[in-house]
Structure 1
Amino acid sequence: MTATPDLRTPRLASPDLLRSVFRRHAAGVAVITARGGEGPVGFTATSLASVSAEPPMLSFGIGTGASSWPAIAECDHVGVHILGEHQQELAATFARSGADRFGAGTGWSEGPEGVPVLDGVLAWIVCRVVARVPAGDHRIVLAEVVLGDPTGAGRPLLYHQGQFNGLRD
């Protein structure tokens, strides 16, 4: 049985309405990284989407007020890392404002095009940024896949109802 929407009392569009609806949408969790002028930068993203197979392209959103935005606004390449359910703490670190994201608790190395590549992820790719599209207080970054490794072991990490979760059996 499905719930019948109450159309007599619709809520007006607002940031709170959007957040409330998307809390109910389970999303995969990725970390986006880039080389910045002061060192590596990165952030947790649940907005990752496949855009095109030919050429292979993806997109993600980033707020223009985010600490990583200045580097993402200028870089030529980004790293995209698909996190496993064993990486809830890593996801939280990259989501937390002011966190030392590349400190002692984060395993990483410099990868192709100087992009930071995280250790232990389910998959990673390096992409060439092709566009940054204004979208309200965010930018949608379109990027073309250059190379990567899809062979990490484990199950995906999900974000749902404001929490990181693994898949249930």
Structure 2
Amino acid sequence: MTVSPDLRTIGAPRQPLPAREASQASEASPAPAREASQAREASPGLLRSVFRRHAAGVAVVTAHGDHPVGFTATSLTSVAAEPPLLSFGVGTSSSSWPVVSEAEYIGVHVLGEHQRELADTFARSGADRFGAPTRWSVGPEGVPILDGVLAWLVCRVVARVPAGDHRIVIAEAVAGDPAGEGRPLLYHQGRFNALRD
């Protein structure tokens, strides 16, 4: 192992500087960085705790196989403009995964703050997600399109990338409508929230 000259002085007693040099050193030197306190070893719980503090937009992803499926997603990300690509994560244990794993096209819906109940419905295991009061219609490429959302896209799936117990789905937008009215729904601290002014 090679020791850097800078490292040899760590822990050595510091000699006081003459007053003028001490004044110049204090002006030039930044305040020492705070040490990270209470650091925890990485774990699924740590990751969840950190991301509870990260506010995210709320979307619903839909697809159609033998029947329509959908789930609430807070992992929606714009990937590229040329071509227009997006991504989202889906758990392989999700009831929607068998259909999403084979779907050629999927729908992505950006929810408004007036749609907390819809977000809850699509997040709840065992819920009749496409039954009343959910309003939807068949859109381009046969994809279920939800009514009243802020914006929606129909996308062609181009990749499904393994990522632990999830898959990252990358899809290219082929049609959509950005003209819905309202403000976005957010997910923060384990709850659906509205923007504050």
TM-score (normalizing by structure 2): 0.82
Aligned amino acid, residue 158 of structure 1: L
How many correspondences in the alignment? 165
Q: Distance in 1 between the 2:161 and 2:177 partners?
A: 27
Q: What residue is the counterpart of 1:168 in the other structure?
A: 196
Q: Does 1:30 align with 2:88?
A: no
C-alpha displacement of 1:9: 3.6
- Supply the RMSD in Å over aligned alpha carbons: 1.1
C-alpha displacement of 1:75: 0.4
Deviations 1:25-45 (A, max 9, x none): 0000000000022x1000000
- Report runs of 4+ in structure 1 exceeding 2 Å deviation: 4-9
2:177 maps to which of 139, 149, 161: 149
C-alpha displacement of 1:8: 4.9
1:21 maps to which of 50, 56, 68: 50
Larger radius of gyration: 2
1:64-75 pair list within 5 angstroms: 64-75=92-103
Q: What residue is the counterpart of 1:11 in the other structure?
A: 40
| Structure showing the higher strand proportion among its residues | 1
Structure 1 portions without partners, runs of 5+: none
TM-score (normalizing by structure 1): 0.95
Q: What residue is the counterpart of 1:158 in the other structure?
A: 186
Aligned amino acid, residue 64 of structure 1: T
Q: Distance in 1 between the 2:180 and 2:163 partners?
A: 33
Identity of aligned residues (%): 75
Q: Distance in 2 between the 1:137 and 1:59 partners?
A: 16
Cα distance change of structure 1 residues 131 and 11 upon mapping to structure 2, 3 Å threshold: same
Structure 2 portions without partners, runs of 5+: 1-32
